[in-house]
Each structure stands twice: as structure tokens, then as C-alpha cells.
Amino acid sequence: MYQFHEITTLHLEVTSQCNASCPMCLRNVSGGKVNPHLPITELRLDSIRNFFPEDFIRSLKRMYMCGNYGDPLVAKDTLEIFRYFRAVNPGIHLAMFTNGSARGPEWWRGLASVIDLCHFGVDGLGDTNHLYRRKTNFKKIMENAKAYIDQGGNACWDFIVFAHNEHQLEAARALSEEMGFKKITFKKTGRFFSYSKAQVKEAQEVLNADGSLDYEIFPPQNPKYYNDALKSDAHIIEKYGSFDRYFDQAEIHCKVAEEKSLYVTAEGLVFPCCWVGLRLYPWYSKEKADPVWKLIDQLEGGLEALSLAHHPMKDIVEGPFFQKVLPESWEKSSLSEGKLKVCAKTCGKKFDAFASQFKA
């Protein structure tokens, strides 16, 4: 892969805590109870100072906070951490991805003076946003966004299109322009693909905390907003027999190896990307059952070998997981031989549901 000195982008997940309960997020069980496998933790400013040498921060072009499991909005030291990166590297591009439904206007005005861009994940208007962004408050989101924008902050509105909100796209666009958002992006979600079953699904169940069904959400009916990669499922199955057989043969081109980016979890674990890090704690399988753990078990010390609490970042990045164990898995002949399914799905050349979210 890359060497430590080549890294230009840091994806920092500052917390695994969240104020929302989105049904397609692995932090919770289909919008219900919290994922029982997930460690609930966060990074504090003191740890950030210890984990990230100032020389490393000065070499970065970009740092952004975006959650696999948590929302940076609810971490105690998010603003202070952004200020620390800015003080060390005044020219760095700082960004945050959030649901926007916490804190108050004063905090948001402070954020506007530090970061370059904030992405607000708002999937609808007042009568629909909460159907996916469960436990969030649309009015509060708009108040916070207004405080941030009015203070001079650059904001983007990221809108995931579902059947229940696709009739609101133009109204959302008009509101975004009225409020001063720089851009609104209508995302064609790729999450109607079942990773565990390796197939496209027609609906997403939404559960209550007791595990009972609350309601279902569906992909958009307008083909313009349906993910192009998911449309290819019939072709994939016709040609390969199944998605897993396609993954067996998928030619993997690692996106982050090209981008020279790095992902650090709320536990202080270092991975090339958030997709690999996400496989540590899926709620729907036995603990430590994902094939990623088989690679980690090859390391001396196991998961500790990837921990910034135990090793300098340079040693981790230039160590066996990054330089040997993970890249060699991409060359395996099949999933059963050790090719990582998450890498074949995310960075395979013929099926890329993530990239298809943003295609016009």
C-alpha cells in the first residue's frame, strides 16, 4: 500500500456514540436497540495530541470527521479537536458529516469559525426526515444549520432519496437555497444491498427497541434516483451465478491506496478505510466472526497491533497489516481462500454501490 509519509487525508471517527437511530446503520439493530457488539467510546483531545504527531498533522491536506457508527456532533471534544488541527496546520481542509440534531447555536457558530465545510445529512423535510434519521428533530437541525451558515460556515445538504421523501426534492432544494447551503446532493443510496445475504433487498425493516417491527422503508420509485449499481444485480447474477461468486472473481482496486487516506476509529484503531473498520462489529453475526478478524488474528498482538494506544502510527501503517496481510488478501482466488468480501464489494471494478450514490 502506501507509506506513512505519503498520507494526505485522515478520516477520524471521534466517537461511536450517536443521538440518532438510523435503520441502515450498523450502530443499532435496524433502528432499534444499540448494537450489542459495539464498544461505546470516544476520543478525547489529550489522546488526539498523543496519537497524532504535529509533523503528521502538518503533512495532511485534509481531515474530516464522519461516523461509521457515531456522529461527531455528540463527542465532548469535537470542536476542540478541530481547533487543535487548525492551530497545528492552518492550511488544512477540515470537514464534518453530521445529522445536525444536537448542540445549540453558540456551538455551531464556533464550529463555523474553524472548519471549511459541514455536510448535514437530512433526508426529507419536517414530516419525513425522522423516518430514516430516527430520534432527530428537523426544527433543531434547521436552527443549527442557520446558526452555522449565518456565521459564515460553508454547508452542504446531503439528502438520501427514499420512496417516502422523493416527492420533496424540489421543496428541499428551494429551502436549501433560501437558507444559504452551498449545495444539495440527492444521494442514490446503495444500502438496499444486503451484505450478509449478498443480494439486493426490496425494503428495509425498521424495528423498535424490543425487536418488534415498527414500519418499513423502500427505495425510490423514480429510476433517476435508484442506485445504478443495484440495477445491475440481474446482470451480475446472470453472468456469475451469485454476488458471492462475483466477489470471488472481483478485481480489487483499493480506493484509499490511490487517495493516500487513513481511517482511525473511536477506539484509536488504524485501518486504511472505514469499510474495513466497519466489519469489526456487525450486530447480525457472532462476535468476531467477520473474515476481517482472521486477518487481524495473523498479527502479533492481534487487534492491539493496530492500536494507537500501543503503537506509533508510523509503525502501524508501515507494519504487516497495511503492507502485507491486507494487500495479499486481495490476490486470493476466492472468498473461501481469504479474499475480503468487504474489499471486493467496495473496490471491485464492476459493482460499486457507494460511488453510484453520487452519479448524476
Is the pLDDT confidence value at 24 over 80? yes
Q: What is the pLDDT of residue 350?
A: 85
Contact 179, 149 (CB under 8 A): yes
Residues 259-292 have pLDDT tens digits of 999 999 999 999 999 999 999 999 999 999 999 9
Q: Helix/strand/coil (H, E, C) string of 146-179?
A: HHHHHCCCCEEEEEECCCCCHHHHHHHHHHHHHH
Task: Give 258: exposed, middle or buried? Use CB within 10 Å, 0-12, 13-18, 19+.
Answer: exposed
Q: What is the pLDDT of residue 108?
A: 98
- pTM here is 0.96
Helix (H, G, I), strand (E, B) or coil at 128: coil
Q: What is the pLDDT of residue 349?
A: 83
Q: What is the percent of the chain where pLDDT is above 70?
A: 100
Q: Cell for 272?
A: 486504511
Residues 79-106 have pLDDT tens digits of 999 999 999 999 999 999 999 999 999 9
For the ranges 190-199, 302-311, 343-352, the one whose mean pLDDT is highest: 302-311
Q: What is the pLDDT of residue 171?
A: 98
Domains of the chain, start order:
4-98+190-355 (3.20.20)
| Average pLDDT taken over every residue of the chain | 96
Residues paired with 215 in a beta bridge: 206
Spell out the residues 6+ positions from residue 202 whose beta carbon is closer than 8 angstroms to its own.
192, 218, 219
The pLDDT of 126-155, averaged and rounded, is 98
Q: What is the pLDDT of residue 359?
A: 84
Is the pLDDT confidence value at 360 over 80? no
Encode 184-201: b = buried (16+ Cβ within 10 Å), e = exposed.
bebbbbbbbbebeebebe
Residues 283-335 have pLDDT tens digits of 999 999 999 999 999 999 999 999 999 999 999 999 999 999 999 999 999 99
The pLDDT of 232-249, averaged and rounded, is 92
Q: What is the pLDDT of residue 354?
A: 86
Which residue in the block uniquely carries the three cell numbers 450478509? 196
Read off the amino acid at residue 347: C
Is the pLDDT confidence value at 43 over 90? yes
Which residue in the block uniquely carries the three cell numbers 434547521? 142
Sheet holding 155-160, edge to edge: 183-187, 155-160, 117-121, 93-98, 62-65, 9-12, 261-264, 270-271
51-55, 186-190, 312-316, 353-357: least confident range: 353-357
